[in-house]
Amino acid sequence: MPLQYIKKIPAISPSPFTTTLRMTSSTQVTVVERRLISPPPRTVTATSLPLTFLDIPWLLFSPSQPLFFYDLPVSTAEFIQTILPNLENALSLTLQHFFPLSGKLVTPPLSSMPPRLEYTGDDSIFLTIVEATAADAGDFKNLTGNHPKLARDLKCLVPVLRSTGVGSKQQLLAVQITVFPEAGVCMGFALRHVVADGRTFNNFLKKWGELTKTGGVCGADGSVTFHDRAVITDPGGLESTLLKEWSKLKNSQKMENINKANGSKHDFSRATFVLRPHEMEKIKIWILTRSGMLFGSSQLLLSPYVLTCAFIWACWMKTHQFTCEDDCGEIVHYFGFIAGGITRLHYTVPNTYVGNCVGFGRSSATRKELMGENGVVYAAKAIGDTIKKLNGDMLGGAKSWISEWKVIRESELHVMVTGSPKLDVYGLDFGWGRPVKIEEVSIDTTGVISLCEGREVVGAIEIGLALPRSKMDVFSSFFIKGMNSFSIHC
């Protein structure tokens, strides 16, 4: 007998949930169960939360679509009968603390009413269970490898987010669990980041994993979440500025074109590249041996994150074969990234705060600098200098966050990375051990590059990339050649 806050949904046709989806030439997935999961009854009251200025830029971003693969050799029937009930119960208990994820993004048509997050008291998230019907261990192993694979092979592992009222109310989170019988399980998510940054979502997942392992028994950690939006102060009126920028952009045809520009990448492949600490050290030595000649006594910030991003940027530029003839060498290229705000704001924000507390960084360098033999050096200085500015004043350029993002997304000249190697996403354990692989599916359509900590080596960084198949080969070649070059000169 299902609990009151876990509702089984009958099949509805036609529906994206009841369609058999093609994944690879040998694998299909079929919906087995659909559930609505809510916080336990009467544990959360109806709540309306305003968006802070740190949430507003995320209104323009496509949903994040992370996948977590686990080695779990069980049948679909065994999973549903013995594992799923505990997962559902733990998810419900977790949503009690992270109730905004169960709610909706409300965007009223009247410009006088700003968008907000709304939880009505009985909202739910969709949990869909599907089976990879023709899968075997080889299919699962192929999907969890670092090697290039067709981007479309992962699409059907991502759940569907729904909107109602002509887009005025949008679901914020959906979950899909795909069972590869006797091989493994994939936990797939679709998340609108306007409700939660990577830190918040990681806290949600870790709490869900903890409650699953303990059978719903909470630990002695006291307060789990902090929801008071007043903790984010806005003395400079950034909310009003960013709302106006968002309002102008969301209604423009150009914005629609930006969101759809990368929507049909059928021939794309995706692969994971890994930089290990000893390889980062080689890049660092290479940069230091040349930076004095280029920048004098200027002190460079050469953290693992900077080194990784600089190397990615240089390889990406060469992959796209930009030339620097005549005046073209002075064309400016941008590198955009997300900057954590918990430690950068000049006041205290609890780590348990549910919402967004991140800023945006945009580094720039000329084509001539990036395409030359010292491209990695110029890239590292540009990214490091931007991080130094953010460390001193994260909100110094906040009024331009939306307009700068628009520039980056409008042109292939620029690149953006998402994710953080500091979140310990490979620590997400539901009692089945650590994930064997993590993928961010949204990069297939957004053109963004994903970053997370390495699974096998402490201090390593995994780089998720989606490119046309021909360019993926080129990028891989430059990646390998670059590392070999650093090795020779160290």
Residue 1 has a pLDDT of: 37
**Per-residue pLDDT tens for 193-212?**
999 999 999 999 999 999 99
- Report the share of the chain in percent with pLDDT over 70: 87
Residue 389 lies in a domain: yes
Among the ranges given (31-35, 78-82, 406-410), the one the predictor scored with the smallest mean pLDDT: 406-410
Residue 366 lies in a domain: yes
Domain boundary among 258, 274, 290: 258
Q: What phi and psi values does residue 411 have, to the nearest 5 degrees?
A: -135, 145
CA distance 183 to 185: 7
Paired tokens of 280? 């980062």
What residues contact 452, with CB distance under 8 A and at least 6 apart?
A: 419, 420, 421, 423, 425, 426, 438, 461, 462, 464
CA distance 44 to 247: 32
**Per-residue pLDDT tens for 341-369?**
999 998 999 999 999 999 999 999 999 99
Residue 249 has a pLDDT of: 83
Residue 1 lies in a domain: no
**Per-residue pLDDT tens for 427-443?**
999 999 999 999 999 99
CB environment 224-239: b (16+ within 10 A), e (fewer): bbeeebebbeeeeebb
> Which candidate in 193, 197, 414, 444 is catalytic?
193
Collapsing DSSP to helix, strand or coil, 359 comes out as strand
Among the ranges given (50-54, 71-75, 147-151), the one the predictor scored with the smallest mean pLDDT: 147-151
Residue 370 buriedness (CB in 10 A; 0-12 / 13-18 / 19+): buried
Residues 223 and 355 in one domain: no
Q: What phi and psi values does residue 397 have, to the nearest 5 degrees?
A: -115, 20
Q: Per mean pLDDT, which of 22-31, 45-54, 147-156 is the most reliable?
A: 45-54
What residues make up the domain containing 200? 6-258
Domain boundary among 258, 292, 315: 258
What residues contact 324, with CB distance under 8 A and at least 6 apart?
A: 367, 368, 371, 372
Residues 242 and 361 in one domain: no
Residues 379 and 484 in one domain: yes
Domain boundary among 217, 243, 258: 258
Residue 471 lies in a domain: yes
Average pLDDT over residues 359-380: 95
Residue 10 has a pLDDT of: 54
Band (29; pLDDT cuts 50, 70, 90): confident
**Of residues 226, 40, 201, 192, the one with CA closest to residue 121:** 40
Residue 59 lies in a domain: yes
> Which candidate in 136, 234, 385, 429 is catalytic?
429
Residue 430 lies in a domain: yes
Residues 274 and 248 in one domain: no
Query: What's the number of CA atoms in the CB half-sphere (13 Å) around residue 209?
Result: 20
Residues 233 and 307 in one domain: no
Kind of pairing between the strands at 169-171 and 104-106: antiparallel
Residue 326 has a pLDDT of: 55
**Per-residue pLDDT tens for 58-109?**
999 999 999 999 999 999 999 999 999 999 999 999 999 999 999 999 988 7
**Per-residue pLDDT tens for 5-24?**
667 765 433 333 333 433 44
Q: How many domains does the chain have?
A: 2
Residue 263 has a pLDDT of: 44
Band (278; pLDDT cuts 50, 70, 90): very high
- CATH number, domain at 352? 3.30.559.10
Residues 239 and 328 in one domain: no
What residues contact 484, with CB distance under 8 A and at least 6 apart?
A: none
Task: Cite the DSSP H helix spans in 64-213.
Answer: 76-78, 84-97, 137-143, 198-213
Residue 459 lies in a domain: yes
The pLDDT of residue 122 is above 70: yes
Residues 141 and 237 in one domain: yes
Mean pLDDT of the chain: 88
| Residue 147: active-site member | no
Collapsing DSSP to helix, strand or coil, 409 comes out as helix
Residues 86 and 126 in one domain: yes
Residues 200 and 271 in one domain: no
Residues 222 and 316 in one domain: no
Residues 124 and 13 in one domain: yes
Average pLDDT over residues 323-338: 80
| Residue 197: active-site member | no
**Per-residue pLDDT tens for 480-490?**
999 988 876 65
Residues 249 and 282 in one domain: no
Residue 24 has a pLDDT of: 46
Residue 16 lies in a domain: yes
